Amino acid sequence: MALRPERMSKVSVTGSKRVIDDVIEAAYDHHSLHVTDYDDRYEGFEPGTSLEGAEDVNERLVTVRSLESILDVSAEDADGPGKLGDDALTAELEETRERVNELNDRRDDLRGEIRDRQEEIDRMEPFAELGIELDLLGGYDSLEVVVGEAKPDAIEDALEAADGVDAFEVFSGGNVVAAFAAPADDAEAGVLQDALVGVDVAFLEVPDADASPADYVAELEGERADLGEELDAVDAELEEVKTEAAGFLLRAEEQLTIEAQKKQAPLSFATTENAFIAEGWIPTATVADFEAVIADAVGDHAEVEELERASFTPDGDHHVEAVADGGSSGGAAAGSASAADATDDADREAATDGGHATHGSDDPPVVQDNGSAAGPFELLVQGFGRPKYSEFDPTLLVFLTFPLMFGFMIGDVGYGVLYAAIGYFLYSNYEGTFRELGAVALWAGGFTVLFGIYFGIDVFGYHAYQLLPGDVHWPVDGKGLSPADIDWALSFLVASVLFGLAHLNVGHVLSFVSNYQQHDLKHALYEGGSWLLILNGAWIWIFSQHLPGPKPDFLFESFSILTFGAVSFAGFPVAVGYAAIVAIVLGIVLLAIGEPPELAEVLSPIVNVISYARIMAVLLAKGGMALAVNLLAFGAYIDESGEGSFHFIFSADYLEYVRSHPEDYELVFAGMTTAFDPASIGAVGILALVGGIVVAIVGHVVVLALGITSAGIQAVRLEYVEFFGNFYEGGGDAYTPFGYDRKHTEE
């Protein structure tokens, strides 16, 4: 684990085009070079072209992916890694392509025919509902006929009011209406449709068919069923093909992807007619090994040169450490000696006179390495932004603080076990993002269990230690939700603020160290030291005895409560309070000198620390919700005349006992399950028992879900806004080395 990304070096590989294939093979297998694209900015060089055969490889890759799409092949269909030669790939791919395309074409044809039959059925069904033979719906010399979907009464009213209609008859079936009308002697053709202009009717075209509508629909449905059976047979055959060919297609896709990447690699190179130069970033620790690999592959026909070991200031200014005689501060070097051995004089001149064809001033990519424990928390950091190469990687700090905040805010053994179970399920059954989320949930659930024990073995809002035999005393009896625990609630507020103070101090210290390493002590004092002085000065003064009047007593009493009386704190002495004021003033002066615009935020150290009070707020809110669910379901009372804790009732007998001793117990809520009395089972009691259990289950599921959204979001917010805002920007580039991690193929 490290707070800094892995150190990166920029290297170039210069050589003759005669060995470009071997260099690409060696670099690809080494899988460490993050290639940078040549941007055509230097005279004498131009972007390279794909190697011979790239077009054929791409075409076959497209074919494989098309077949995978048709067969719905996924990584889960793999049958294990295996070897795949070029001849076997070509032959089996052609055979699979012909078979799949034939079946797919047949499937498309069948689907089209089924769709045609369905459309014809949809067109004919209204006439089947009407129940009139199709030949009776047309072909008259003295009658006009229309068929449509409308209300019969509306049709009849319109025809009765029409002047050009001597007689009419309306037939209906379902939503379909057929209207027959005899036009008046002086009426023009189309009088029937003209009469229905104001009626809400959707006219239907009479199909041209010999059979009756009902028989025709039945015939079409039979044809559709037969076609469906054929389609099922084709689908089954395609499924068989998928079972047989899935492993091959996955291996073929991987093999062709690797070949395509290799053949297209020169597109990122700078080239002349006979030479090439490739540049990119590589972890500094692997440079020597990379040089050896290239040398083993092509000897002195190519040269690897470490151009720079880059470090960057926070504002992005470029600094370079000299690493060799040929290194340079601009990333340019005359690294063409080996190419000169294999090129003519013109190439030699192009490579030397124009300088080394550097590919721009790109920032190094970021390699995060936080180990197996903290590694999944990179997901939370990258949600804000991948760290820049110049920045501290805060993943380790998020790993140490996020589960702590989450667990404290929920603090319940029952919920913690469920969170951990969800996390284990995700971690065990998925890869990638879901697996990382599962690991985060496991840690968060574990800390939730620990704090649940601390809060009185809290299990779904109920103190399980109360069920233990004997006179059991617990250090923390609840979360401050009952009258007896109000001091604990205020103490948790102080604990949240103190955690925020420590959290922000870490952020400002990282800012101070970063500025000192990249600039000097003066910059560190202005940009980090000023805020450290203001932050700590302000809060030391708040916890001092200087001007004690407006400061609440719980600020000092909480230390004794939180430490179970081990620590007594009455506040820092007045002299320390004065020293804190001096620190504040000094911090403001440094800020005014170094960063005057930031004086507008001079109160942010106080405001940001107070923002951590949301930890206590979520703790009480989630505890209160769990308590409310249990109150509704099981009922509760307060003992010792209102000065004690909440106790749940559960049974009808216990409820009666509480009610009969009002001098000792105060009933808060009777609860639903207490209506159930085993001695006299009744319908109302059973219904109340079932209802209470349902309320308890649903209520706690809701609290569980809200815990993820509220506690999770608030913890992430404190990391992103209050903590990251002091030293972290993000926006770095991911390290994507040239190469491929094989899953389905073997060398």
- At residue 338, the pLDDT reads 39
With 70 as the cut, is the pLDDT of residue 184 above it? yes
- Residue 517 in domain: yes
pLDDT value at residue 598: 85
Query: Above 50 in pLDDT, residue 500?
Result: yes
- Tell me which residue range forms the domain holding 150: 122-218
User: What amino acid occupies position 249?
Assistant: L
Identify which has the larger pLDDT, 520 or 584: 584
Q: Could you tell me the CA-to-CA distances from 428 to 105, 403, 609 in Å, in that order?
A: 40, 20, 38
pLDDT at site 515: 85
CA-derived radius of gyration, the chain: 40
Q: Report the sign of the C-alpha dihedral through residues 527, 531, 534, 537, in that order.
A: negative
The answer to whether residue 459 is domain-embedded is no
Residues near 126 by beta carbon (within 8 Å), at least 6 away in sequence: 147, 149, 174, 175, 176, 204
Whether 240 and 109 map to the same domain: the answer is yes
Which ranges of 205-332 would DSSP assign to H, the alpha helix? 213-264, 287-298
pLDDT band (50, 70, 90) for residue 678 = low
What does the CA dihedral 332, 338, 341, 346 come to, rounded to 10 degrees? Answer: -20
Comparing C-alpha atoms, which of 176, 175, 181 is closest to residue 196?
181
Q: In sequence order, what are the residues at sequence separation of 6 or more whose Cβ sits closer than 8 angstroms to the Cβ of residue 38?
A: 45, 47, 48, 268, 269, 270, 277, 279, 357, 359
Let me know whether 484 and 584 are in one domain.
yes
What pLDDT, on the 0 to 100 scale, is given for residue 370?
86
Helix ranges, 563-645 (H): 574-594, 604-611, 614-634
Decide if pLDDT at 101 tops 70: yes
Q: Which two tokens stand for residue 466?
A: 């109360």
CB under 8 Å to 318, separation ≥6 — which residues?
310, 312, 361
Q: Which residues contact 79 (CB under 8 A, 6 or more apart)?
A: 246, 247
Q: Does the structure show a pLDDT above 60 at 256?
A: yes
Residue linked to tokens 């055979």: 95
Number of neighbouring beta carbons within 10 Å of residue 431? 9
Phi and psi at 705, nearest 5°, equal -70, -45
Q: Which amino acid is at 269?
A: F
| Two structure tokens written together for 208 | 């041209």
Asked if 24 and 158 sit in the same domain, the reply is: no
Return the pLDDT at 291: 95
Q: List the structure tokens of 56.
A: 């054929």
A 10 A CB-CB count for 120 gives 18
405 has a pLDDT exceeding 80: yes
Q: How many domains does the chain have?
A: 5
Q: What is the mean pLDDT of residues 214-225?
A: 89
Q: Is residue 659 part of a domain?
A: yes
* Residue at 406 is within a domain: no
Over residues 180-188, the mean pLDDT reads: 86
d(CA 37, CA 301): 22
Residue 679's pLDDT is what?
Answer: 61
Residue found under tokens 């203001």: 534
Alpha-carbon separation of residue 197 from 121, 171, 266 (angstroms): 28, 19, 71
- pLDDT, residue 494, reads 93
Q: Do the Cβ atoms of 68 and 96 come closer than 8 Å?
A: no
Is residue 649 over pLDDT 80? no
> In the numeric block, which tokens belong to residue 686?
């059973």
Q: Which of 145-154, 413-422, 677-686, 708-717 has the lowest mean pLDDT?
A: 677-686
Average pLDDT value for residue range 349-368: 56
> What pLDDT sits at residue 659?
77
Per-residue pLDDT band for 269 (boundaries 50, 70, 90) equals: very high
Residue type for position 60: R
Nearest in space to 638 (alpha carbons), one of 624, 649, 625, 630: 649
DSSP character string of 7-41:
PEEEEEEEEEGGGHHHHHHHHHHHT--EEPPP-S-
**Mean pLDDT lowest among 15-24, 207-216, 530-539:** 207-216
Cα–Cα separations (whole angstroms), residue 514 to 291, 307, 389: 32, 25, 12
**Same-domain pairing of 520 and 590:** yes
pLDDT at residue 14, as a whole number: 93
The C-alpha angle with vertex 435 and arms to 434 and 441, in degrees rounded to 5, equals 85
Distances (CA, A) of 186 to 164, 165, 181, 182, 191: 8, 10, 14, 12, 10
The CATH number assigned to the domain holding 156 equals 3.30.70.2750
The kind and range of the H/E element at 179 are strand 176-183
Angle, helices 486-518 vs 395-410, to 10°: value is 170
**Residue 404: predicted pLDDT:** 96
- pLDDT, residue 230, reads 95
Report in angstroms the alpha-carbon separations of 28 from 258, 717, 738. Answer: 9, 41, 6
Q: Which residues contact 85 (CB under 8 A, 6 or more apart)?
A: none
DSSP type of residue 745: B
Note whether residue 561 is domain-resident.
Answer: yes
- Residues 6 or more apart whose CB falls under 8 angstroms from that of 280 comprise 10, 11, 33, 34, 35, 36, 738
The average pLDDT across 490-517 equals 92
pLDDT surpassing 80 at residue 118 = yes
β-pairing verdict for 8-16 and 202-203: unpaired
Interval 126-180: pLDDT, tens: 888 888 888 888 888 889 999 988 899 998 888 888 888 889 998 988 888 999 9
**Band of pLDDT at residue 354, cut at 50, 70 and 90:** very low
pLDDT of residue 207: 79
DSSP conformation class of 139: -
Q: What is the pLDDT of residues 271-324, one digit of tens each?
A: 988 899 999 999 999 999 999 999 999 999 999 999 888 764 544 444 455 554
3-state secondary structure of 476: coil
Q: What is the pLDDT of residue 646?
A: 64
* The domain boundary residue, chosen from 156, 189, 218: 218
In a domain, 77, yes or no: yes
Average confidence (pLDDT) over 478-503? 84
If asked whether residues 608 and 509 sit together in one domain, one would say: yes
Average pLDDT, the chain: 84
pLDDT of residue 327: 42
Output the pLDDT for position 469: 52
Q: What is the pLDDT of residues 438-475, one digit of tens each?
A: 999 999 999 999 999 888 788 898 877 655 555 555 66
The answer on 602 and 512 residing in a single domain is: yes
Tokens describing residue 99: 């078979």
**Percent of the chain at pLDDT exceeding 70:** 88
- The token duo for 110 is 């069948």
CA geometry: angle 467, 468, 469, nearest 5 deg: 120
Secondary structure percentages of the chain, helix, strand, coil, to 5 = 60, 10, 30
Residue 329 has pLDDT above 50, yes or no: no
CA 368 – CA 391 distance, rounded (Å): 12
Collapsing DSSP to helix, strand or coil, 43 comes out as coil
Q: Residue 8 pairs with which residues in a beta bridge?
A: 283
Within this chain, do residues 39 and 131 fall inside the same structural domain, yes or no? no
pLDDT in the model for residue 32: 94
Q: Answer whether residue 743 is part of any domain.
A: no
Q: How confident is the model at residue 399 (pLDDT cuts 50, 70, 90)?
A: very high
- Do residue 18 and residue 78 come from a single domain? no
* 630 band by pLDDT with thresholds 50, 70 and 90: confident
pLDDT reported for residue 712: 93
Stretch 221-227: mean pLDDT, rounded? 94
Neighbours of 199 (CB within 10 A): 16
End-to-end CA separation in angstroms for the chain: 32
Rounded CA separation 616/489 (Å): 8
Residues 543 and 585 in one domain: yes
Confidence of residue 39 (pLDDT cuts 50, 70, 90): confident
For 293, phi then psi, to 5°, come to -65, -45
pLDDT score for 501: 96
Lowest mean pLDDT among 177-191, 640-654, 708-722: 640-654
Contacts of 716 (CB under 8 A, 6+ apart): 380, 383, 402
Residues 660-680 have a mean pLDDT of: 73
Q: Which of 324, 353, 382 is the last residue of a domain?
A: 353
Q: Is 26 in the same domain as 138? A: no
Is 462 domain-assigned? no
| Tokens describing residue 550 | 């407006």
- 738 Rama sector, left if φ>0, alpha if ψ -120 to 50, beta otherwise: beta
Q: Rounded to an integer, what distance in angstroms lies between the CA atom of residue 375 and that of residue 427?
A: 13
CATH at 282: 3.30.70.2170
For residues 358 and 326, is the Cβ–Cβ distance under 8 A? no
User: Tokens 């004092």 correspond to what residue?
Assistant: 525
For residue 331, give both structure tokens: 């990333």
C-alpha distances out from residue 376 to 118, 257, 423, 436, Å: 52, 28, 12, 5
Six-digit token pair at 604?
A: 């942010």
Q: From CA 360, how far away is CA 270, in angstroms rounded?
A: 12
Is 92 a residue whose pLDDT tops 70?
yes
Least Cα distance to 200 among 149, 147, 130, 125 occurs for 149
Hey, how many other C-beta atoms are within 10 angstroms of the C-beta on 702? 12
Using CA atoms, how far apart are residues 298 and 300, in angstroms rounded to an integer?
6
Answer for the pair 408, 451: CB distance below 8 angstroms, yes or no: yes
Same domain, 304 and 327: yes
Distances from the Cα of 632 to the Cαs of 1, 650, 655, 665, 725, in angstroms?
48, 11, 14, 18, 43
pLDDT recorded at residue 261: 94
- Both 182 and 329 in one domain: the answer is no
